[in-house]
Structure 1
Amino acid sequence: MTMHEQHHKQTPVKASSTGKRLLEYGLLYKKTIIVALLFLIIAVGAEVIGPLIAKQMIDQHVTSINKAWHYVAEGTAEAVPYQDKWLVREDKLADQQQSLGRASFEQKGLTFYLVDEGSSSEQGTKLTKEELYQFYKPEIKPIIRLALIYLALLAVSAIFVYSQRLLLQTAANRIVQKLRRDVYAHTQRLPVQYYDHFAAGQIVSRVTNDTEAIRELYVGVIANFSMGIVYVIGIYAAIFIMDVQLGLITLPLIPILILWIYIYRRYAAKYNRVLRAKLSEINANVNESIQGMSIIQAFRKEEAMKKEFDELNAYYFKYQNKMLSLNSLTSHNLLNVLRNIIYIVVIVLFFNNQFSAAITVGLLFAYVDYINRMFNPIVGIVNQLSNLEVARVSAERVFKLMDEPGLEVDEQHMPRYRGDVAFNDVTFAYKDDEYVLKNINFSAKQGETIALVGHTGSGKSSILNLLFRFYDIKQGSITIDGVDLREYSKQQVREHMGIVLQDPFLFTGTIASNVSLNNPAISRERVIKALKDVGAYDMFMSLPKGIDTEVIEKGSTLSAGQRQLISFARALAYDPAILILDEATASIDTETEAIIQAALDVLKRGRTTFVIAHRLSTIRAADQILVLDRGVIVERGNHDQLMEQRGKYYLMYQLQAGSPALTSS
């Protein structure tokens, strides 16, 4: 291999974990993701403070009347007037203030009683609504202040959650855009032989469906997982700060959740691999059906194709049901069971006085609030497990495609070569030792036309595949202007080559864009000149929009002759030094063939032309005709010389011409 080829050959990607490679793509936008996570931490912090404020509202203000009270002198700070007496709550009594007696409140139904310590009356004095209000009145302002703080925290949390989701999902869309662009670019680097082993629908599925599943990983899975993890950590921290006992009771939830995720992924990964592979097969089947619809209907194969599709669809349905069962068994309903178990444990311990005296109504309220808040992100994580597995399996398939060795597209240009071609002792096999070409030797000078003839499988197309470097040889050499093809990159070699196929491929666009292939170097004037030179301009200008007439996929609205003329004009516009005509007139009617032949004469002028032709009448003017049989050149010469030899070419020509001597025999 030459130094130039080594420079352009892509080094196969070293095998690494799918997760690591997905992380590498994520790190491309790490700044945005880091800012999003900081916003998330702020949002969680604001939200986690909420139950603590609610706890303070309940314990310090709403249920504060249930604390011990002290009779104090008139004018004492924080004192509440009651029947010419003054009382202050025990936690508000300053050390230097003297207590004149203790009292407490008892509630029976909706009625409150004030009971003096040491009083003989067990029931105490009943309070009127106005008297009771005097004890609650000092708490109204603090409650309103705390409520406003609570609302402000909710607003802060909402703003930062929105900003975090916007940033994270924007980054996710950019990541997947980059990934999809990389996958598509790699499909352009893959050699032609790669596409010989895969249906188009399977590759399309990887570029579209699988990358879309990966998008869901970044947009949905990572967003929910990151939010869930931060929320759980924040809430656990808050619970432990409030009360260690409650934190320890809640702690077993984490290993249960980890075990749950492990079991789910173990089965889901297996099912999703089958589902993604089968979806590719379904896409390939649909693509093949659409491409061959005319043949299917002509040969009445509709039922057979429907049966084949139904089998694939039924298999896919079977595994979809397995995934559905798995998702149902591990759904968020199981989380509700775990949450209720935690509630029962806490309630039982509370009523059995297993907790310390520090456990208050406000603390229990905050704890229940925290558990509810924690389970929401956990439910989000659980609901994303199926998407996680789909994305992971899809990523494996995408990265497997990207790991296929290919060639970087070379943007370097080279001067237009003359086009002197020589095959020197070329032997080639597509598979191992199954040689399709054996010791091929011939040369072609600039401006000459070389015709390749022979029965199907004789090696005609293989010669042109090697010349175009769709495949590389291991024995012998192919030179252009005396330089081995392998000294150039494949793109450089093809830059000055043109090809016209038997069934030319047209892209969605217009007639003009199909001639120029949207190459900015090819002006509209050059397109018009090419169409005029091949005798097609007037034909296309008779259409309603002229050469701006729209062409749908594969040009199915145009006739075979019109499609062929567009491909001739395309080759002429690119002005190749070497022109390859692969059975370019095989499917053309006799009337159109006259136009095509005139176009060919213009097209071949001054170029080295290689022609594969089944109609031997079209190559009579060739400078050199090579007759191949099972990969070997058995005859060579011009038409007259080969006819004089009365060998294989003579027999083929006579057979096509309908010679009476041959047909009668």
Structure 2
Amino acid sequence: MNVGKRLFQYALTAKVTFIAAIITLCIGVAAELAGPFIAKAMIDDHMLGIEQPFFETDSSTSENAVLYNGHSYKRGDRFAENENKGQEVRILQKGTTFYFIDQAVEVAEGKREVVDGQMTITNGSLVSTYPVTALTAEQLFSFYKPEIPGIMKLVGLYLILLVVTIFTEFGKTYWLQSSANRVIQKLRTDVYAHIQRLPVHFFDNLPAGKVVSRITNDTEAVKDLFVAVLSNFSSGVVYIAGVYVALFILDVRLGLVCLFVIPILIVWIILYRKFATKYNTIIRSRLSEINAIINESIQGMSIIRVFRRQKQTKDEFEALNQDYMKYQNKMLNLNAWTTHNLVNVLRSFSFAVLLAYFGYGSLNGANAVSLGVLYAFVDVLGRLFQPITGMVNQLAALDSSMVSAGRVFTLMDEPGEDVTDGSMPRYKGNVEFKDVSFAYKKDYVLKNISFEAKQGQTVALVGHTGSGKSSIINLLFRFYDPQKGSITIDGQEVTGIPKQWLRHHMGIVLQDPYLFTGTVSSNVSLGDERITREQIEKALCDVGAERILAHLPKGFDEPVVEKGSTLSAGQRQLISFARALAFDPAILILDEATANIDTETESLIQSALEVLKKGRTTFIIAHRLSTIRTADQILVLHRGEIVERGSHDELLELGGRYYQLYQLQQGNVLPEPVAGEPIIEGTIQPTIQTVSGV
């Protein structure tokens, strides 16, 4: 489905307010375009209406009657059906003077000349001469006086329509923008929700900064589409349609002459977007890359400074920024040539066509129109270019928004994991791997892995970097699924259990735990309403956190900034342990969980770890072999295979790889290095935390 259709579907979520805005817009356009018609009526029916035929009337007190030289006169169109008309007279203008003609005039239109009290009217081959009398200002006003009530009514009607226009403009703006805000809110929510559903491996190849750019910058550009572009284009389309209706009402010939503007505008937009889309695609891509490098620089600022990479990092940023500016300038040049310049040319050309067509027509009388019609037409035609200017000015935002929307929908089209509502009862935690083989790409990092971990047992995974320890945990969490073999929990295939249900009863403690902005207590509960304050405090006390965190001014309510950077590694780890305990998982994974804790702190939580592991299946990834002496089963991995298994004492008696590793850590034996140790294992993502229903 193309971008336009998908945006339209999102617009339908606020269709009621959009429809209300369009209706209000139509009313406002009609009220605004009524102005030229009122001006036409004022000119033709009242200001120039004085040149219409007057007839003598018997009653000087009659409504709309004018007293002149002892006789009463009234305009011919104001006589009642049964009212008698007397002698016809005319009032014609020449220059700034109005003249009274005491007789009927055959043809009033044409060239007028007044010489020695005689007015000569020339219309083609027809020449007529009439005796005339110049009217004084007072006499002229007496003929205009009956027109004043009609003029005042039209002025009052115009003011009423002006008030209607003000209110409809407010309603249109409010409803359009509120609808747009609602649509973009849903779009942003859907994008963020889809991010939560994307598989973990998706983020392995896409920098975090680029993802953030899609959710923030690109959706903000789409917001501009609904708020500014939609407002201008919908207003413009309705307004242009209203203008053409008005033009055809005024004069069909005039309307037909001005239809050439529409194809020019359509071709204009198509050509503009052909170039603008190419530039905007690069601009949005560069902006995404700039966000990515900024995010990476902030995350690794300490490394950049320690290794004095400021200049190289700055040069990389400057190169991206320079390329971004180059294409921004190309867009500026395109906009400079295709906005006001072309609008002004189109406007001037339209008026030139109008003047040429009707100026020539008025000479032979074939296309003559009244002055009121011509004024109204020029007024309406001038209004035609107001919405065109607004639409053209939004072309850049339109194209940028469409490109951004395409990027957002591309992200949303990435296949996500199915979300299944509800949950499953807490399983016991009997885990079994049967001949499991797994590869991230082509080469297998796990080969024929088979083992069983019963409820309440502790299984330790040891081995060199890249041996496959973390890959086993990734498979257990179903961040990935194996290519061969099967994994079961309580005898049920994990591939048959919804991922959310499976993870609901799992917890993990990482070597470098992640803390969220909030407080110590909120980082334990992660906002889960099922975990009470008492459970939070008990979990913190059980892992010995009350001693380590006692010096904090607000205790367990101490504010925590992003990643917990104001806390020590040991404090962060204790909070992570408390989090695992509070969620009470059936399966617990400890990934080098005590590696960043000093010896004194480690001794404080060893007893808490025994409580934490009680009744649940625990997997420990450990390099410090002293922490896994009590493990029920130790699996020694080498190049993706289990080469040894057993308890601590059994493996020492075996005298194999585990024995060598243990002696090395004790400082007794330095084993020969094994050549060609692969470092190919994927690692658990640092954002995966101890939380039910990950």
On whether the aligned pair clears a TM of 0.5, the verdict is yes
Correspondence for 1:291: 299
Correspondence for 1:79: 65
Counterparts of 1:84-95 in structure 2, within 5 Å, are 84-92=70-78
Deviates more, 1:625-634 or 1:555-564: 625-634
Confirm or deny that 1:46 pairs with 2:46.
Answer: no
Correspondence for 1:12: none
Task: Please say if residues 71 and 103 of structure 1, whose CA atoms lie closer than 8 Å, have aligned partners that are also in contact.
Answer: no
> What is the deviation of 1:93?
5.6
Residue 435 of structure 1 aligns with an amino acid whose one-letter code is Y
Distance in 1 separating the partners of 2:552 and 2:63: 98
Correspondence for 2:264: 256
User: Which residue of 618, 633, 647 maps to 2:642?
Assistant: 633
Listed one character per residue, the Cα deviations across residues 317-369 of structure 1 (whole Å, up to 9, x for unaligned) are 11111111111111133112211222222223333334656511111111111
Task: Please say if residues 65 and 146 of structure 2, whose CA atoms lie closer than 8 Å, have aligned partners that are also in contact.
Answer: no
Correspondence for 2:418: 408
Distance in 2 separating the partners of 1:315 and 1:457: 39
> Aligned with 2:440: secondary structure?
strand
Deviates more, 1:277-286 or 1:408-417: 408-417
> Aligned with 1:609: secondary structure?
strand
> What is the deviation of 1:507?
0.6
Task: Please say if residues 261 and 385 of structure 1, whose CA atoms lie closer than 8 Å, have aligned partners that are also in contact.
Answer: yes
Confirm or deny that 1:648 pairs with 2:657.
Answer: yes
Counterparts of 1:265-344 in structure 2, within 5 Å, are 265-344=273-352
Task: Please say if residues 74 and 85 of structure 1, whose CA atoms lie closer than 8 Å, have aligned partners that are also in contact.
Answer: no
Distance in 2 separating the partners of 1:438 and 1:497: 25
Distance in 2 separating the partners of 1:661 and 1:332: 79
> Aligned with 2:74: secondary structure?
strand
Task: Please say if residues 53 and 89 of structure 2, whose CA atoms lie closer than 8 Å, have aligned partners that are also in contact.
Answer: yes
> Aligned with 1:447: secondary structure?
coil
Distance in 1 separating the partners of 2:224 and 2:517: 30
Correspondence for 2:91: 104
User: Which residue of 481, 485, 503 maps to 2:490?
Assistant: 481
Residue 296 of structure 1 aligns with an amino acid whose one-letter code is I
Correspondence for 2:6: 21
Counterparts of 1:364-379 in structure 2, within 5 Å, are 364-379=374-389
> What is the deviation of 1:89?
3.3
Correspondence for 2:117: 121
> Aligned with 1:112: secondary structure?
strand
Unaligned stretches of 5+ in structure 2? 106-113, 120-131, 674-694
Correspondence for 2:195: 187
Listed one character per residue, the Cα deviations across residues 580-639 of structure 1 (whole Å, up to 9, x for unaligned) are 011112233333332343432332222211111111222222221111111011111112
Residue 225 of structure 1 aligns with an amino acid whose one-letter code is F
Listed one character per residue, the Cα deviations across residues 123-150 of structure 1 (whole Å, up to 9, x for unaligned) are 6333222112111111111101100001
Q: Structure 2-normalised TM-score?
A: 0.90
Task: Please say if residues 106 and 115 of structure 1, whose CA atoms lie closer than 8 Å, have aligned partners that are also in contact.
Answer: no
Q: Structure 1-normalised TM-score?
A: 0.93
User: Which residue of 19, 44, 54 maps to 1:59?
Assistant: 44
Residue 87 of structure 1 aligns with an amino acid whose one-letter code is Y
Distance in 2 separating the partners of 1:101 and 1:489: 96
> Aligned with 2:361: secondary structure?
coil
Correspondence for 2:233: 225
Task: Please say if residues 568 and 599 of structure 1, whose CA atoms lie closer than 8 Å, have aligned partners that are also in contact.
Answer: no
Change (3 A) 1:158 1:64: same
Confirm or deny that 1:155 pairs with 2:163.
Answer: yes
Correspondence for 1:387: 397
> Aligned with 1:439: secondary structure?
strand
Distance in 2 separating the partners of 1:252 and 1:313: 43
Task: Please say if residues 56 and 74 of structure 2, whose CA atoms lie closer than 8 Å, have aligned partners that are also in contact.
Answer: yes
Task: Please say if residues 543 and 577 of structure 2, whose CA atoms lie closer than 8 Å, have aligned partners that are also in contact.
Answer: yes
Residue 453 of structure 1 aligns with an amino acid whose one-letter code is V
> Aligned with 2:98: secondary structure?
strand
Correspondence for 2:527: 518
Distance in 2 separating the partners of 1:104 and 1:377: 42
Distance in 1 separating the partners of 2:207 and 2:66: 86
> What is the deviation of 1:474?
2.5
Confirm or deny that 1:177 pairs with 2:162.
Answer: no
Residue 311 of structure 1 aligns with an amino acid whose one-letter code is A
> Aligned with 1:353: secondary structure?
helix
Distance in 2 separating the partners of 1:315 and 1:661: 54
Distance in 2 separating the partners of 1:216 and 1:558: 41
> What is the deviation of 1:246?
0.9
Residue 321 of structure 1 aligns with an amino acid whose one-letter code is N
Correspondence for 1:35: 20
Deviates more, 1:563-572 or 1:223-232: 223-232
Distance in 2 separating the partners of 1:66 and 1:541: 99
Listed one character per residue, the Cα deviations across residues 285-332 of structure 1 (whole Å, up to 9, x for unaligned) are 111111111111111111111111111111111111111111111113
> What is the deviation of 1:464?
0.4
Residue 556 of structure 2 aligns with an amino acid whose one-letter code is I
Correspondence for 1:349: 357
Deviates more, 1:452-461 or 1:75-84: 75-84
Listed one character per residue, the Cα deviations across residues 66-121 of structure 1 (whole Å, up to 9, x for unaligned) are 4444455553663322222333335446686444243332333x443334459972
Distance in 2 separating the partners of 1:297 and 1:589: 27
> What is the deviation of 1:172?
1.3
> Aligned with 1:424: secondary structure?
strand
> What is the deviation of 1:437?
0.2
Correspondence for 2:516: 507
> Aligned with 1:438: secondary structure?
strand
Distance in 2 separating the partners of 1:438 and 1:529: 42
Distance in 2 separating the partners of 1:208 and 1:663: 53
Task: Please say if residues 79 and 86 of structure 1, whose CA atoms lie closer than 8 Å, have aligned partners that are also in contact.
Answer: yes
> Aligned with 2:549: secondary structure?
helix
Task: Please say if residues 438 and 444 of structure 2, whose CA atoms lie closer than 8 Å, have aligned partners that are also in contact.
Answer: yes
Distance in 2 separating the partners of 1:98 and 1:66: 17
Distance in 2 separating the partners of 1:436 and 1:116: 113
Unaligned stretches of 5+ in structure 1? 1-15
Listed one character per residue, the Cα deviations across residues 199-238 of structure 1 (whole Å, up to 9, x for unaligned) are 1111111111111111111111112111111111111011
Confirm or deny that 1:541 pairs with 2:550.
Answer: yes
Task: Please say if residues 115 and 122 of structure 1, whose CA atoms lie closer than 8 Å, have aligned partners that are also in contact.
Answer: no
Distance in 1 separating the partners of 2:229 and 2:356: 37
Task: Please say if residues 585 and 596 of structure 1, whose CA atoms lie closer than 8 Å, have aligned partners that are also in contact.
Answer: no
Residue 404 of structure 1 aligns with an amino acid whose one-letter code is E
Report the RMSD for the aligned CA atoms in angstroms: 2.0
